[in-house]
Structure 1
Amino acid sequence: MTALLEVKDLRLAFGGVKAVDGLSFDVGESEIVSVIGPNGAGKTSAFNCITGFYRPSGGRITIGGADVTRMRTSAIAARGVSRTFQNVRLFGDLPVLDNVRAGTHLWLRQHVFDALLHTPRYRRSEQQATDEAHRWLDFVGLRGDRTGAARNLPYGEQRRVEIARALARRPRLLLLDEPAAGLNHGEKLELLDLIRRIRGLGIGIVLIEHDMGLVMEVSERVVVLNFGREIADGTPEQVRRDPAVIEAYLGSDEDDEVPGGRGPTGAAGEETARADA
């Protein structure tokens, strides 16, 4: 069976810095795969390559068997890829509902003539977009006001709106970049349930997350990066016991003795050079 997403030997360099160095993994339909690693490991850079924000230095990315490595962001989105961002990116001054309606533009069929004259076809499509937006806001469990400006919502609710907008694009593959960042314990439990319900729709999910409790609970497979290189790929239990993963997160005895070693302290020194969160 063809993988929904297949990444082969992905490489990305910024000058002499290798942000991603030979990453390979795949994601099937209704599968949840987490990509983890210390700060500066190359996780968000890999996301940016998959979605077309960055052009890889090497390697191949396929969506449903089609090579999208050199495609524009819009073309990749049209193939069923949607994402959220590490820092929430909503249209802050627009109403919550309009933020999610914006996600329908990929599949909503409107013509300039209809929009200018507000024809019955235009009014039907606008109502369809509104109904779809409400449906996804219901799905993510938004409890706040949908008519007020998005910036006025609490941070956790803004996260929900961003996920609803991504889902309104009707994706086959959803990339979530640190969706639990800034959430309290109760909100993280709700997020865990939401991710599982999204998977239940048949959508493949790739998750970047620093909350290891959430990662180990929700993931079917975990890919681990360190300094741009893949050091592990397996089930949560396999990754949890992998010596290379333990060293990447906790460091080794030698790292404690050598400034700038490969533990978290050394990784932080590289972080500013990698354009990656």
Structure 2
Amino acid sequence: MSLLSVEDLRLSFGGLAAIDGLSFSVDEAEIVSVIGPNGAGKTSAFNCVTGFYRPTSGRITLRDKNLLGLRPSAVAGLGVARTFQNLRLFGELSVLDNVRAGSHLWLRQSVLDALLHTPRYRRSERECTEQAHHWLDFVGLRGDRYGAARNLPYGEQRRTEIARALARRPDLLLLDEPAAGLNHGEKEEMLDLIRRIQGLGVAIVLIEHDMGLVMEVSERVVVLNFGKEIADGRPEDVRENPAVIEAYLGSDAHA
């Protein structure tokens, strides 16, 4: 049984098909990249999986649990975390508190505990802070953890967002263009980080335009064009697929 299964997914906006019959699966601890030209429907697919969009039709399951109709918080509670194409950090909060916010799903405290600062509340808050430091160490954050997140360099903000997602203890992590805006050295570090996340037993679905990174880190690649799936296979096979070459380079690419 696959960890994630997407079957015949369709999504329309005002009669315009953003996703048209997408099907793919992700196994436990597998890295799958979803690629395609701008506007191909990649982020829309992520939004459907995580409950931000409600598909027109199709089926999405996580370990055979139906995700359709669930709120984003409920999807996260089942073990799905994500990052965003445009950073979604709480800019005025500290870096540490941004990552602590990712721990709310597993905090063992009630409203009454928080109001009365009970021993359970104090233990929970201490564990939350320790976990936040752990994940910031894991992603290799170099910047100030106690300053506002908006003051970090762009690459460090990317790391912080990934640390926050990992603080949710996911089984499936969706990364939306994690290497966008990074320099060559930072991309190499991102490649290493993705592999280390997989080493934790976490499955990863990756949207990325950097084909060097995609071909090096992916076990399978799914290709979209105008909302339709045009290829699904090993990186070396997808790279030579005529339909993929045409989608990226045009019909005269071989000529």
TM-score bracket for this pair, using the shorter chain length: over 0.9
The equivalences for 1:173-192 within 5 A come to 173-192=172-191
The aligned amino acid for 2:9 is: L
Residues 1-277 of structure 1 mapped to structure 2, 5 A cutoff = 2-253=1-252
Q: Which residue type is aligned with residue 183 of structure 2?
A: N
> For residues 48 and 123 of structure 1, what CA distance do their matches in structure 2 show?
35
**1:250 CA drift (Å):** 0.3
Partner in structure 2 of residue 267 of structure 1:
none
Distance 2:65 2:82 in 1: 19
Alpha-carbon offset, residue 18 of structure 1: 0.3
Secondary structure (helix, strand or coil) at the match of 1:162 reads: helix
Provide the rounded CA distance (Å) in 2 between the counterparts of 1:110 and 1:88: 29
Whether the 8 Å contact between 2:176 and 2:208 is mirrored in structure 1 is yes
The one-letter amino acid of 1:96's match is V
Alpha-carbon shift at residue 253 of structure 1 (Å) = 3.5
Distance, in Å, in 1 between the alignment partners of 2:15 and 2:69 is 22
Residue segments in structure 2 that go unaligned for 5+ positions in a row: none
Q: TM-score, normalised by structure 1?
A: 0.90
Letter in 2 for 1:24: S
Report the identity percentage: 79
Structure 2 CA distance, aligned partners of 1:19 and 1:221?
A: 22
The alpha-carbon deviation at position 72 of structure 1 amounts to 1.4
**Structure 1 counterpart SS, 2:162:** helix
Q: How many residues align?
A: 253
Q: SS at 2:215's partner residue?
A: helix
Distance of 1:16 and 1:217 partners within structure 2:
37
TM-score using structure 2 length: 0.98
Shift of 1:73: 1.1
Deviations 1:104-155 (A, max 9, x none): 0001111111111111111111000000000000000001110000000000
C-alpha separation in 2, matches of 1:155 and 1:124: 33
Could you give the per-residue CA deviations for residues 15-39 of structure 1, whole angstroms, max 9, x where no partner exists? 1210000000000111000000000
CA distance in 2, matches of 1:125, 1:42: 40
| 1:265 aligned partner | none
Letter aligned with residue 39 of structure 1: N
The separation in 2 between residues aligned to 1:119 and 1:108, in whole angstroms, is 14
Which residue identity does 1:175 align to in structure 2?
L
SS of the residue 2:93 aligns to: coil
- Retained in 1: the 8 A contact 2:108–2:120? no
CA separation in 1, counterparts of 2:222 and 2:88? 26
- Report the Cα distance in structure 2 between the residues aligned to 1:24 and 1:75, rounded to whole angstroms: 22
Structure 1 segments (4+ residues) deviating >2 Å: none
**SS where residue 104 of structure 1 aligns?**
coil
Distance 1:98 1:72 in 2: 24
Tell me the secondary structure at the aligned position of residue 124 of structure 1. Answer: helix
RMSD value, Cα: 0.8
AA at the equivalent of 1:45: S
Task: Output the CA distance in 2 between the equivalents of 1:21 and 1:69.
Answer: 17
Per the TM alignment, residue 69 of structure 1 is displaced from its structure 2 partner at its CA by 1.4
Deviations 1:152-181 (A, max 9, x none): 000000000000000000000000000000
8 Å CA contact 2:80, 2:170 repeated in 1: yes
